[in-house]
């Protein structure tokens, strides 16, 4: 296996530069998307050059979806440890990993159905299917709560905020998981499990 990895990396070293580096047109297309800020050195954030192999819009949509999930995950991880558990529930621990096995199967089914309904509405909207009450043919994307600003400056600001919060949440969730299994690895988290 080790020899295979060495052969693959050595073959990649002899690839022509155009196959390894994103083109200038791709870089220009990336630079028009929200996400360029002081945290990324005021340049496009694609350290692994993944945009040269995949659709940029798909990558951004995936980043936003993962960021939104991470924001919910961080709140779900920290909330019980700071504010306590909901009364009368089947979960008796604030340890997030141990709590997974204490959640009743009916609750898991409800969560899966809720997520499935939201995803189905999003897919229906993207394909143009009239999925009332969420369908709005004039909307640029799936926004059932109508929280997206109408003015371009507000739109750009909101997109950048969501992207930054999502990126921070992904890093925070990774830190919480590492801290759970190795408490000395992440400073300043204290007694969080």
Could you tell me if residue 113 is inside a domain?
Answer: yes
Does 35 reside within a domain?
A: no
Whether residue 7 is predicted with pLDDT greater than 50 in this model: the reply is no
Residue 116 domain-assigned (yes or no): yes
Binding-site positions for chlorophyll a: 63, 161-162, 165, 167
Q: How many Cβ atoms sit within 10 Å of the Cβ of residue 53?
A: 9
- Render pLDDT for 159-185 as a digit per residue (tens, 0 to 9): 888 888 999 999 999 999 998 888 878
For tokens 């993962």, name the residue: 66
Would 110 be classed as within a structural domain? yes
State the Cα torsion 180-182-184-190 to the nearest 10°: 10
Structure tokens of 153? Answer: 């400056």
Q: What is the pTM of this model?
A: 0.71
Residue 95, CA distances (Å) to 17, 105, 113, 151, 175 in order: 49, 19, 25, 43, 15
78 part of a folded domain = yes
The residue length of the chain stands at: 193
The CATH number of the domain holding residue 82 is: 1.10.3460.10
What b-and-e string marks burial along 60-80, b requiring 16 or more CB atoms within 10 Å of the CB? beebeebbeebbebbeebbeb
Q: Which residues are annotated as a binding site for chlorophyll b?
A: 68
Residue list, annotated binding site: 63, 68, 161-162, 165, 167
Give the model confidence (pLDDT) of 127-163 as tens digits: 777 655 556 666 666 677 778 888 888 888 888 888 8
> For residue 29, is it within any domain?
no
Q: 18 lies in a domain?
A: no
Which tokens sit at 112?
């899966």
* Number of structural domains the chain divides into: 1
Where in the sequence is the domain holding 97, given as residue range(s)?
A: 55-181
In whole angstroms, give the CA distance from residue 38 to residue 43.
8
Span of 39-53, 54-68, 98-112 with lowest mean pLDDT? 39-53
**Bigger pLDDT: 4 vs 41:** 41
Question: Looking at residue 74, what is its pLDDT?
Answer: 93
pLDDT of 112 higher than 80:
yes
Per-residue model confidence as pLDDT tens digits over 68-101: 999 999 999 888 888 888 887 788 888 888 888 8
Question: With 0-12 CB in 10 A as exposed, 13-18 as middle and 19+ as buried, what is 115?
Answer: exposed
């Amino acid at each position: 296996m080790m020899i295979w990895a060495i052969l693959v990396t050595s073959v990649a070293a002899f690839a022509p530069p155009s196959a390894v580096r994103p083109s200038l047109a791709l870089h220009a297309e990336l630079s028009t998307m929200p996400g360029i800020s002081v945290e990324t050195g005021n340049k496009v954030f694609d350290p692994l050059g993944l945009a040269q192999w995949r659709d940029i819009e798909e990558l951004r949509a995936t980043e936003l979806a993962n960021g939104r999930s991470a924001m919910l995950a961080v709140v779900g991880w920290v909330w019980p440890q700071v504010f306590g558990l909901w009364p009368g529930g089947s979960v008796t621990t604030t340890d997030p990993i141990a709590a997974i096995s204490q959640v009743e199967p009916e609750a898991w089914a409800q969560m899966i159905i809720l997520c499935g309904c939201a995803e189905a509405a999003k897919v229906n909207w993207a394909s143009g299917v009239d999925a009332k009450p969420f369908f709005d043919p004039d909307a640029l994307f799936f926004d059932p709560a109508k929280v997206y600003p109408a003015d371009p400056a507000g739109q750009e600001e909101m997109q950048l905020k969501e992207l930054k919060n999502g990126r921070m949440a992904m890093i925070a969730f990774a830190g919480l998981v590492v801290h759970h299994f190795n408490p000395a690895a992440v400073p300043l988290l204290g007694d969080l499990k």
